[in-house]
Structure 1
């Protein structure tokens, strides 16, 4: 396969993972797999939470795709590589920037990172699995749009996320 094809498959996989993650977050994590994801919406105790098992599942799938691709099932290795790159971006943006699960204590004040940060904070402004907004991890609607959606869903003002919920304490 040509390098251009490989790069295209990698980039398409990376972008497609945001759609996959959005659907998995909305319909699986906030659906039948709430038992794992609930830990992410509660104050974390220790380094890990049950929700981290989703990362293990996605990493296992990416490893399997890379392995199959390297055994002749091209271009699966580049799909797996795109998934892996998405996982790295997720770790930096979601776990690091938003939830401060590693020593970065930066709260963005403008631009894309502020929008991403606010959108995920608004996702956590709701107790429980119902009535949440913003299920993406690397793409986020505007804060005003999300506030309007929260008011429509809940019929009133929204609250700030609990201090300490999933490592959030700002």
Structure 2
């Protein structure tokens, strides 16, 4: 495969992961695996780790396997698919855990309109404490209405 295709594959996988995240969040986390996600919707959960953090392991596993099989006999496209998943995971951590939930106080007072829209949409998602009636299940895509301040 042409070496110029590999970065494109990584970017496309990164973008595709937003759809995977939306579907997983709506139908898995707010569905049959609610047990692991429920504590994330409890205000003031007092622990450093949540059961919800288990989903990091679930998403990291395919990436690790793709890295392994993509590098086993020289680099192939599987490695770059794994890289796209990893890059999305890093973005997810920075946006969801650092920016939105402030698990680390790195971006506490941002004035960026996009980042403020992300926080607002996620706040709307968390206004529902149960698994029903949720909205805003994605991470990086935010409907336009949340940018009106």
TM-score (norm 1): 0.80
Q: Which residue in the other structure is 1:102 paired with?
A: 104
Q: Does 1:28 align with 2:62?
A: no
- When residues 139 and 116 of structure 1 are mapped into structure 2, their CA distance, relative to the original with a 3 A threshold, is same
The offset of 1:126, in angstroms, is: 1.1
**Structure 1: distance between partners of 2:109 and 2:28:** 29
- For the Cα contact (< 8 Å) 2:28–2:34, is it kept in 1? yes
CA distance in 1, matches of 2:126, 2:99: 15
Match of 1:115 in 2: 117
| Higher relative contact order (CA closer than 8 Å, sequence separation 6+) | 2
Corresponding position of 2:78: 76
Number of residue-to-residue matches in the alignment? 145
TM-score scaled to structure 2, two decimals? 0.90
Describe the shift of the 1:120–1:74 C-alpha distance in structure 2 as closer, same or farther (beyond 3 A): same
Matches within 5 A, 1:1-170: 1-42=1-42, 43-72=44-73, 74-143=76-145
Runs of 4+ more than 6 Å apart? none
Stretches of structure 2 that go unaligned for 5 or more consecutive residues are none
Residue by residue, what CA displacement relative to the aligned partner does 1:65-100 show, whole Å, maximum 9, x if unpaired?
A: 111111258311111100000000011111001000
